[in-house]
Structure 1
Amino acid sequence: MSGEHVPMAPAPCRMRRNILQGALAAGALTLLPCPGLAQTALNSLPRRSLIIGNSSYAHAPLNNPANDARAFAEALKAVDFAVTLQLDASREAMLRAIDDYVGMLARDHAIGVFYFSGHGTQLAWRNYLLPVDSEIRMLNDIPARGVELNTLLQGLTQAKNPMNVIILDACRDNPFGQALPGEQKGLSQFDAPPGSLLAYATSPGNTASDGAGSNGLYTENLLRELKSSDTKIEDIFKRVRLEVRRRSDGRQIPWESTSLEEDFYFRPPRAGTKLSEGEATRHYDEELAIWERIKSANDPAALEDYLRRYPSGVFSEIAQLHLDKVLAQRGQRAIQIASSAPNPYSKGTARADTRFRLGDRYSYRHLDLATNQEIRQYTLVVTAITETQVIYNNGSLITDLIGNPVKLADGTRYTDAQHQIADYSLGKRWTARHRLTNARGATYDSQIEYRVVARESVTLPAGTFDAFRVEGMGWSQGERFGVEVYNLFWISPEVRRVIAHETRQRFANGKLVKHERYELTGYVQR
């Protein structure tokens, strides 16, 4: 990840199991599932939901929330949820329903889905869902007459049920009008509590469409995606985001925060379904072939088709970055997430800075953590930039625009891989897979499962940085052997490259192959 070394990862399942047995015996890692293995325990638990749709506001009535709530209730019943439905609820009714819902989740140890459609607002970074009887004449009325989101979130934390989904289609235009402008538009960014997914109809600080038909734009697309079989919940919301963005011409882009540890399916795959070694490799080869055909496309339709088919694909983050660029060239202005720097409820988000300039310089030191010795120091200088690549030291190193390797100094070449991505937020997960070919023609397959685990202050020789900490675990498999890989890196919004990176690799018997660190010692960005 320093640009001259990228760890490698998962082999096919049988090889993984062989390596895994030795690694577990050595106490080296946590078990990761093979691709395609259904997480049946979570998906077999009881399912409970609370759905609220508020349309009949006295001063700012809405057309669709009651319709949205009824339709969503029916959709959840179809996938075995017990549903409590509240329409045009007063504050007292909302609070009572939330209290009963939380108690039911705790009693039944159930999967929970909470859905609210209606008006919402924020005050002092706190989000409030508005009952239909809320009479708000000044901003200070909001806490006493709205229902604070934290009332629900704190109750869910106390319930200690296995998983929660919170869906807020509650970001319509300011319900108070010009007479009482809010502090900011829409809702405030919140990080999902442990074991939950928090979904907004639009990005924090923005507003959502009430829809031109019988449902709001967001819920209309969510209802359609809920009919999909064998689809992970996070993939459902990714497809919804793509469709809403396309239908609104970029004016509305849904947003999620997740801290889920397992895959959940509204319509689970068959129990025990998994891919064989050959099937897993064929699936990757098929996706790679599709990506190679469309990755340079200037037609957004080709990229959108790929993202619908592979919402969490091994090129999906790169595809999304390219789609952003293509749409911007066509005049679509991406909406911005409101700044969350002073927000006590979120670690915020960071977008990779791809604005490299000729002459940008990044100096690193390379350390052997097994011996506590410095191996070398080196400097990377940007000597050329293309539409898709950054070239360092006259071609000694080539990366894509977000730092993923394309070619190393020794001639090793990589297929595209998303070890680094464009957007970081706490809890975000993604998969990086690649195939590399070294100068001798030998090939290696690799896969790592990444997760953003923290935002923290990091002190390096180059200075102190506010950075996201990203951890990944996976495997690398060559012709003769495989290794377990643990990968760790820090990304700072103010630096265009990774500021520090560690990798640890072990054989199946637990023997350490390497344990190294690269850290920034200085940089100049033009």
Structure 2
Amino acid sequence: MKHMSAPKTLQRKVKRAVSTLLLGGMFFSYSTNAEAPLDIRVALVIGNAAYKNVPALVNATNDAKSMSTVLRKLGFNVVEVVDGSKDQMNKAIEQLQLQLKGRQAVGMLYYAGHGLQLDWRNFMVPVDAKLEEASDVPKQTIDIESVMDVLKKSGTRMNIIVLDACRDNPFAEKASGKGLAQLDAPPGTYLAFATSPGNVAEDGDAADGNGLFTQYLLKELQRPAKIEDVFKRVRLQVRQKSQGRQIPWDSSSLEDDFAFNDGKKFTFNPDDLIQEAQRAKDKEAKLKQEAEAAVQREKALAELRKMEQQRLAEAQKIQETAARQKAEAEAKERERQLAIAAEQERLKSAAAAQALERARAAEVQRLQDIEQAKLQAAQEDRKSKLSQEAAREQQFAEEKAEWDKIKDSKNVKDIYAFMNKFPSGMLSELAGTKLEILEKAQIKPQADKQGRVQEFAPRRYAKDDAFEFVGKDGLTGLVTWRQTFNVLSVDEEGAEVQGTRTGSPAWKLRVSHAGLQYSDRSGKYDPPITLMPAGLLQVGYKWNARTQVISATKQKQEWAEISAKIVARESIEVPAGKFDTFKIEISWVFQSGLRAKQTIWTDPSVGVAIRIHWQEYRSNGTRDFTVRELTSMKRLNTIAAISKP
């Protein structure tokens, strides 16, 4: 096969249903609890808002206090800094190191506040920073990588860095770019940004209580889930809420599983959620009272304004000129002041009504989350009684049934709902490609250190594009066949291609711009198999997919499952030239028992793989090893590479 690019009871689970917390914290404080070995969790939480030399932020300290409270409930010892100077932040980092050193703990940094990038390094800005020129940045700020070094030297077993530090930046002219610079997560690290590198995040307003990213992160931390699923759901919800203007970004090199909330030891007391539900209702009632009071004030002012207008009319009837002019002036001034007051009350009334509407929407969403939690709890309960293989079969059947209902939908809400339900499912990347078609990202990708800018959902094919390949025996290096792909037609989703190979009849195949394989010379894939992830390629990204392979003769059908990871960034040379590629390793398992390993070197701007290694491992111990390399390509009627003589 070759590819182009190519228990707790149910009742207790339900009580862990999600609701957004509005929580407080203490200045520069930490908590300690008794932990068993390898259960130690320590977090440094910093929130800077009250800047002395630039305008203050609205929600950064709220974000930090709320995060501290939630993390404490999830078993973290928390070192907290609110509105910290550089000296206070450095002391907190030292305190973090003392708590972590030699304990094989999970270490975490959460930062909300101003941040900036300079020469591909990222910096947290203390509240006392006064940055007048670029040289002040390393002197007056905290290099985030210095905190990462502290975590590494402390002997942690896992590190988590969460940066809600991409807000609109008053220090922008001292930085080398907008937002934060892209980083690859060092070994054993999960790195999360509130928005994509080189872009800015929304701080929210006072009525929201938290910034957009942290608002959804707080919500998802209350739901039992793997760390990857937490941040995938946060990314989806922030993207949906901002209509693509803000898309959180993450990079992972974790090899071990981790859950902030495991639903067992580290989780929320159900009573906390019941109390929070009551607080949400109390808040809504208060907002309703405020909205009604604002309406009454607006009506009263309207009556007063009407009276003053009547007085003005009466004043204009006064015969004596001087008295009339004085009366008119006084009446006009009173009417002007009342008009200003009325407009202020109108704005207050509108704001109160909007706040009430948001609270009502939040309550509706909270109830929906509870229902989803019930469904998930029931599903988990059923799956726990199945074997691993039976559970995967059931999962795939459930996902495919849901996908078949919406695969042709033009309503982006259907795709968001599917991806929130199955954030790391076997069809999640497939859904991600659909999302990119229905709702284009509104952010601008930043060039990486090598100067490359990846586009969101690029069109990788054009009519009459042509690609030529050579196939070799991977063990001997001998050429065994030559192959061509000619693009016959192109649409919004992908291309129809004709393939030829030495000694074989021509065949047609369907591929997508986003890296989906609909068919190849072996047959069709239902659903299409994902050989490249949706969105931007980055080292460390992992995904899984499953499909039904229907042979070209329709005489055979079996499932095939892949586990894929982008493992490296490599510059390679093939007969078609030199390419800057991402190296993707894919493990295949077929229902028949066949296993294979596929390695793809892909250039994100090119539709086909630059090089492929395909190794099949048979039950009798033999191996088939084939290498395919790009020898030439013609794109948009321009020769991009000439065949090697």
Deviation readout 1:234-290 (Å, 9 max, x if unpaired): 111111111111212222111111111122111226699675322210110110121
Sort the Cα spacing of 1:184 and 1:355 in 2 relative to 1 into closer, same or farther, 3 A.
same
2:410 and 2:598 map into 1 onto residues whose CA distance is 34
1:519 and 1:3 map into 2 onto residues whose CA distance is 12
Q: Tell me which residue corresponds to 2:433.
A: 321
Q: Aligned-pair distance for 1:372?
A: 3.3
Counterpart check, 1:266 vs 2:379: no
Instruction: Report the AA paired with residue 196 of structure 2.
Output: S
1:43 and 1:499 map into 2 onto residues whose CA distance is 47
User: Which of 330, 335, 357 does residue 443 from structure 2 map onto?
Assistant: 335
Counterpart check, 1:485 vs 2:480: no
Q: Tell me which residue corresponds to 1:127.
A: 122
Q: Tell me which residue corresponds to 2:81.
A: 86
Q: Tell me which residue corresponds to 1:73.
A: 68
User: Which of 231, 241, 247 does residue 237 from structure 1 map onto?
Assistant: 231
* 8 Å contact kept, 2:454–2:604: no
Q: Tell me which residue corresponds to 1:287.
A: 399
2:84 and 2:604 map into 1 onto residues whose CA distance is 43
The gaps in structure 1 that reach 5 residues or longer are 7-41
The gaps in structure 2 that reach 5 residues or longer are 7-35, 266-382, 500-506, 637-645
SS in 1 for 2:216: helix
SS in 1 for 2:183: coil
Q: Aligned-pair distance for 1:428?
A: 0.7
Sort the Cα spacing of 1:108 and 1:409 in 2 relative to 1 into closer, same or farther, 3 A.
closer
2:141 and 2:525 map into 1 onto residues whose CA distance is 57
1:72-471 matches, cutoff 5 A: 72-176=67-171, 180=173, 182-212=175-205, 213-229=208-224, 231-268=225-262, 275-328=387-440, 334-342=442-450, 353-393=458-498, 396-409=508-521, 411-422=523-534, 423-438=536-551, 439-471=553-585
Sort the Cα spacing of 1:350 and 1:469 in 2 relative to 1 into closer, same or farther, 3 A.
farther
* 8 Å contact kept, 1:3–1:397: no
SS in 1 for 2:395: helix
The answer to which of 262-271 and 214-223 deviates more is 262-271
Deviation readout 1:492-519 (Å, 9 max, x if unpaired): 134221111112121346x124211111
1:494 and 1:316 map into 2 onto residues whose CA distance is 22
User: Which of 498, 521, 524 does residue 631 from structure 2 map onto?
Assistant: 521
- Name which one, 1 or 2, has greater alpha-carbon Rg: 2
Deviation readout 1:352-377 (Å, 9 max, x if unpaired): 64241111001111222144332210
SS in 1 for 2:251: strand
Sort the Cα spacing of 1:393 and 1:278 in 2 relative to 1 into closer, same or farther, 3 A.
same
Sort the Cα spacing of 1:138 and 1:400 in 2 relative to 1 into closer, same or farther, 3 A.
closer
Sort the Cα spacing of 1:91 and 1:169 in 2 relative to 1 into closer, same or farther, 3 A.
same
Deviation readout 1:98-133 (Å, 9 max, x if unpaired): 122134223221011210111111122221101111
2:555 and 2:101 map into 1 onto residues whose CA distance is 57
Sort the Cα spacing of 1:459 and 1:226 in 2 relative to 1 into closer, same or farther, 3 A.
same
Q: Greater helix share, 1 or 2?
A: 2
SS in 2 for 1:336: coil
Name which structure has the greater RCO, CA cutoff 8 Å, separation 6+: 1
Sort the Cα spacing of 1:507 and 1:248 in 2 relative to 1 into closer, same or farther, 3 A.
same
User: TM-score under structure 2 normalisation?
Assistant: 0.70
Deviation readout 1:421-444 (Å, 9 max, x if unpaired): 242101111112211021243222
Q: Aligned-pair distance for 1:45?
A: 2.6
SS in 1 for 2:180: coil
Instruction: Report the AA paired with residue 397 of structure 1.
Output: L
Sort the Cα spacing of 1:451 and 1:122 in 2 relative to 1 into closer, same or farther, 3 A.
same
Q: Aligned-pair distance for 1:4?
A: 6.5
Sort the Cα spacing of 1:433 and 1:360 in 2 relative to 1 into closer, same or farther, 3 A.
same
Instruction: Report the AA paired with residue 55 of structure 1.
Output: A
Counterpart check, 1:45 vs 2:39: yes
The answer to which of 240-249 and 350-359 deviates more is 350-359
Sort the Cα spacing of 1:199 and 1:146 in 2 relative to 1 into closer, same or farther, 3 A.
same
How many residue pairs were aligned?
477
Instruction: Report the AA paired with residue 186 of structure 2.
Output: P
* 8 Å contact kept, 1:174–1:181: no
1:495-506 matches, cutoff 5 A: 495-506=606-617
Q: CA RMSD in A?
A: 2.4
* 8 Å contact kept, 1:500–1:517: yes
* 8 Å contact kept, 2:5–2:515: no
The share of aligned pairs that are identical, in percent, is 33
Q: Tell me which residue corresponds to 2:309.
A: none
* 8 Å contact kept, 2:195–2:201: yes
Sort the Cα spacing of 1:166 and 1:43 in 2 relative to 1 into closer, same or farther, 3 A.
farther
User: TM-score under structure 1 normalisation?
Assistant: 0.85
1:4 and 1:507 map into 2 onto residues whose CA distance is 23
Q: Tell me which residue corresponds to 1:3.
A: 3
Deviation readout 1:38-87 (Å, 9 max, x if unpaired): xxxx9953111110111111122112111111110111111111111111
